[in-house]
């Protein structure tokens, strides 16, 4: 049954959102609708006349539905050039109809493999073959064929059909969307197979597929264009998966970078004790712990209240009314906040603050621990890929000085070490009483980072502890720290001058432990 002379449309969708209403518009404009399986049933249930693809091709569906549309009667009608007489003659000779509209979306492979109990067989069955083939055939021939793979496009295509013609600009736009969609689909399959079958951390071909979530006002600077792309499978407790509560001011490129750094840092702390971090330019300028979030925020803010102006705040527990009152106090200025949740009354307090109308808030739900994910960074002409730095302080610390840290010092050392991991190298962090009191970041020499951290701490460096992300190459950093009142140090060790560094610590009565692991952050 070809119904020669009438335009044909082919519908085969996994996601049936809006498809019946769209098909009704298509049918009302004189199209013969071809369809398969569940889509055909949905359309018929909606009162729309449908021709089964099996009746059109003369071949039944077979092999549990794997073979339905892979037939010359289908692809001839999609691929034939309407301006090529040989193509038109071939269609007429073999009784093929021109299929001028294709409405297809694919089996939900990505949603399927995200299920924790998915089997390999179940995943493989969700690899669509006929759908991508039809989409690609139609998209290649977009000079004559309109192809729709996204239900959000139904409305504009229906309007064009009602107006009498789908313009070439729209057909081109839809075709571009198809090739991006099928590329993303294949990328998801390739990534899953590489991870689950081959166990490859670093496959021969690095395949990624991200979807544009939003265009940004600009990049790091106003003359740079920027956009935010997300992984559709991102966890809720990520920047890509978090829920944006909105504000009068759009979230910016720099906000997103800082929020990501803030979230990575706050993952270091489990919610059995409240933790808060305050960041500027990807570096923590303050961090604190407390029996509640209000205390943790006060401790974090006390670390460097001057630098905290215009900062990013992250928390590991929901923001309640008490914490919101602390954050919203006059004189504070917070650009963005990321937290597991924000109570309704806390949100009202934050929005009523002087900076509240422009405060960007991201809500993640419970923040999980680090996972064995990877970090990808672009360099000119390529990518660098590495495992995430998920390491914590190991229990087998090496106590290298005559004096060992006492219990309070050890608690602060572990706290400082967790923060130091998130400071740009060369990194030095001073802590005291659950509070970061000084940070030295990104200096070319370690002793200069010590100098900056102790300068920031002022008199609070007396009795503080120090964390260093890498070894001290010379005794001068330890000597300066001791001179400023530092009582204990945690560092990786491994310098050729370790003996001299340890001797300097012993002379000053400074306790020092080696972790055997560094945490460079470039």
What CATH homologous superfamily does 398-514 map to?
AICAR transformylase, duplication domain (3.40.140.20)
Residue spans of alpha helices (H) in 312-372: 321-327, 344-352
How is residue 237 written in tokens? 């407790």
Q: Are 287 and 280 in contact (CB under 8 A)?
A: no
3-state secondary structure 201-251: CCCCCCCCCCEEEEECCCCCCCCCCCEEEECCCCCCCCCCCCEECCCCCCC
CB atoms inside a 10 Å sphere around CB 143: 12
Spell out the long-range contacts of 257-264 with Cβ–Cβ below 8 A and sequence spacing 24 or more. 257/282, 258/282, 258/312, 258/335, 258/336, 259/312, 259/314, 259/336, 259/338, 259/362, 261/312, 261/422, 262/312, 262/313, 262/314, 262/338, 263/237, 263/238, 263/239, 263/314, 263/338, 263/364, 263/367, 264/422
Report the distance separating Cα 321 and Cα 338, nearest Å: 16
Pairing type for strands 435-440 and 488-491 reads unpaired
Locus of tokens 């470039």: 522
How many contiguous H segments (helices) and E segments (strands) does the chain have? 18, 21
- Active-site annotation holder among 71, 87, 249, 281: 281
Residues contacting 145, CB < 8 A, separation 6+: 78, 99, 100, 101, 102, 138, 139, 171
Report the distance separating Cα 478 and Cα 466, nearest Å: 9
- pLDDT computed for residue 116 by the predictor: 80
Residue 357 is among the residues annotated as catalytic for this protein: no
Exposure pattern of 200-214 as b/e (b: 16+ CB <10 Å)?
Answer: eeeeeeeeebeeeee
- The closest of 55, 58, 98, 109 to 76, measured between CA atoms, is 98
- pLDDT computed for residue 301 by the predictor: 96
- The closest of 270, 510, 487, 277 to 392, measured between CA atoms, is 270
Kindly report, as residue ranges, where domains of CATH 3.40.140.20 are found in the chain. Answer: 212-363, 398-514
Each residue's pLDDT expressed in tens, for the chain with a length of 522 residues? 344 567 888 988 888 889 999 999 988 898 888 888 888 888 999 888 888 877 776 666 766 666 666 677 676 777 777 777 888 777 777 777 878 899 998 888 788 877 888 888 888 877 878 888 889 888 888 888 899 999 999 999 999 998 888 888 999 999 999 999 898 888 888 888 887 776 677 777 787 888 889 999 999 999 999 999 998 778 889 999 999 997 888 899 999 999 999 999 999 999 999 999 999 999 999 999 999 999 999 999 999 999 999 999 999 999 999 999 999 999 999 999 999 999 999 999 999 999 999 999 999 999 987 766 788 888 898 988 888 888 877 667 999 999 999 999 999 999 999 999 999 989 999 999 999 999 999 899 999 999 999 999 999 999 999 999 999 999 999 999 999 999 999 999 999 999 999 999 999 999 999 999 888 888
Task: Taking the CA atoms of 329, 333, 335 and 339 in sequence, report the sign of the dihedral they define.
Answer: negative
Report the distance separating Cα 369 and Cα 237, nearest Å: 10
Q: Are 440 and 449 in contact (CB under 8 A)?
A: yes
Residues contacting 187, CB < 8 A, separation 6+: 207, 208, 209
Q: Are 288 and 298 in contact (CB under 8 A)?
A: yes
- pLDDT computed for residue 207 by the predictor: 78
- Active-site annotation holder among 140, 177, 249, 497: 140
Residue 140 is among the residues annotated as catalytic for this protein: yes
> Tell me, which fold does domain 8-196 have in CATH?
Rossmann fold (3.40.50)
Report the distance separating Cα 235 and Cα 18, nearest Å: 27
Cα–Cα distances in angstroms (integers) from residue 373 to residues 26, 207, 267, 388, 504, in the given order? 46, 15, 14, 6, 40
- Binning the chain into helix, strand and coil, the percentages to the nearest 5 are 40, 20, 40
- The closest of 431, 486, 429 to 463, measured between CA atoms, is 486
Report the distance separating Cα 424 and Cα 443, nearest Å: 8
- pLDDT computed for residue 1 by the predictor: 38
DSSP annotation string for 267-278: TTS-TTSEEEEE
Report the distance separating Cα 189 and Cα 113, nearest Å: 9
Cα angle 187-193-198, degrees, rounded to a multiple of 5: 130
Cα angle 102-103-104, degrees, rounded to a multiple of 5: 110
- pLDDT computed for residue 456 by the predictor: 94
Q: Does the bond joining 134 to the residue before it have cis omega, within 30 degrees of 0?
A: no
- pLDDT computed for residue 58 by the predictor: 61
Residue spans of alpha helices (H) in 46-119: 53-57, 72-79, 85-93, 109-113
> Tell me, which fold does domain 212-363 have in CATH?
Cytidine Deaminase; domain 2 (3.40.140)
Locus of tokens 């705040």: 313
């Amino acid at each position: 049954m070809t119904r020669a002379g009438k335009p044909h449309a082919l519908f085969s969708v996994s996601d049936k959102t809006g498809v019946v209403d769209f098909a009704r518009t298509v049918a009302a404009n004189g199209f013969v609708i071809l369809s398969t399986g569940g889509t055909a049933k949905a359309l018929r249930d909606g009162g729309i006349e449908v021709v089964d693809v099996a009746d059109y091709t003369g071949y039944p569906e077979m092999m549990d539905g794997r073979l339905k549309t892979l037939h010359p009667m289908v692809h001839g009608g999609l691929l034939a050039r309407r301006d090529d007489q040989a193509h038109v003659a071939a269609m007429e000779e073999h009784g093929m109809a021109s299929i001028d509209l294709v409405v297809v979306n694919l089996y939900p492979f990505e949603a399927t493999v995200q299920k924790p109990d998915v089997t390999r067989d179940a995943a493989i069955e969700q690899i669509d073959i006929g759908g991508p083939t039809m989409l690609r055939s139609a998209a290649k021939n977009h000079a004559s064929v309109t192809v729709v793979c996204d239900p959000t496009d139904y409305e504009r295509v229906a309007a064009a059909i009602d107006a009498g013609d789908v313009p070439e600009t729209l057909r081109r736009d839809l075709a571009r969307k198809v090739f991006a969609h099928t590329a993303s689909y294949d990328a998801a399959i390739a990534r899953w197979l590489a991870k689950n079958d081959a166990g490859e951390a670093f496959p021969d071909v690095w395949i990624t597929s991200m979807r544009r979530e939003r265009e940004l006002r600009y990049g790091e600077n106003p003359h740079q264009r920027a956009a935010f792309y997300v992984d559709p499978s991102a966890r809720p407790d990520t920047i890509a998966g978090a829920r944006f509560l909105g504000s009068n001011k759009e979230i910016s490129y720099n906000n997103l970078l800082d929020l990501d750094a803030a979230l990575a840092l706050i993952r270091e702390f489990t919610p059995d004790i409240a933790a808060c971090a305050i960041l500027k330019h990807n570096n923590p300028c303050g961090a604190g712990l407390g029996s509640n979030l209000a205390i943790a925020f006060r401790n974090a803010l006390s670390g460097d209240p001057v630098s905290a102006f215009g900062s990013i705040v992250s928390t590991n527990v929901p923001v309640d009314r008490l914490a919101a009152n602390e954050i919203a106090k006059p004189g504070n200025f917070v650009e963005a906040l990321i937290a597991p949740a924000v109570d309704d009354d806390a949100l009202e307090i934050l929005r009523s603050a002087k900076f509240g109308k422009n405060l960007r808030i991201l809500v993640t739900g419970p923040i999980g621990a680090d996972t064995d994910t990877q970090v990808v960074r672009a360099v000119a002409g390529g990518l660098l890929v590495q495992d995430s730095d998920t390491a914590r302080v190991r229990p087998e610390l090496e106590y290298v000085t005559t004096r060992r840290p006492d219990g309070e010092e050890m608690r602060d050392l572990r706290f400082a070490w967790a923060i130091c991991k998130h400071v740009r190298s060369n990194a030095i962090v001073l802590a005291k009483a659950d509070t970061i009191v000084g940070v030295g970041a990104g200096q070319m020499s370690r002793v200069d980072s010590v100098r900056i951290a102790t300068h920031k701490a002022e008199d609070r460096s007396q009795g503080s502890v120090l964390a260093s992300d890498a070894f001290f190459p010379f005794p001068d950093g330890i000597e300066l720290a001791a001179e400023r009142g530092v009582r204990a140090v945690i560092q990786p060790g491994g310098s050729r001058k370790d003996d001299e560094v340890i001797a300097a610590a012993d002379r000053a009565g400074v306790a020092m432990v080696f972790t055997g692991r560094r945490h460079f952050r470039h």
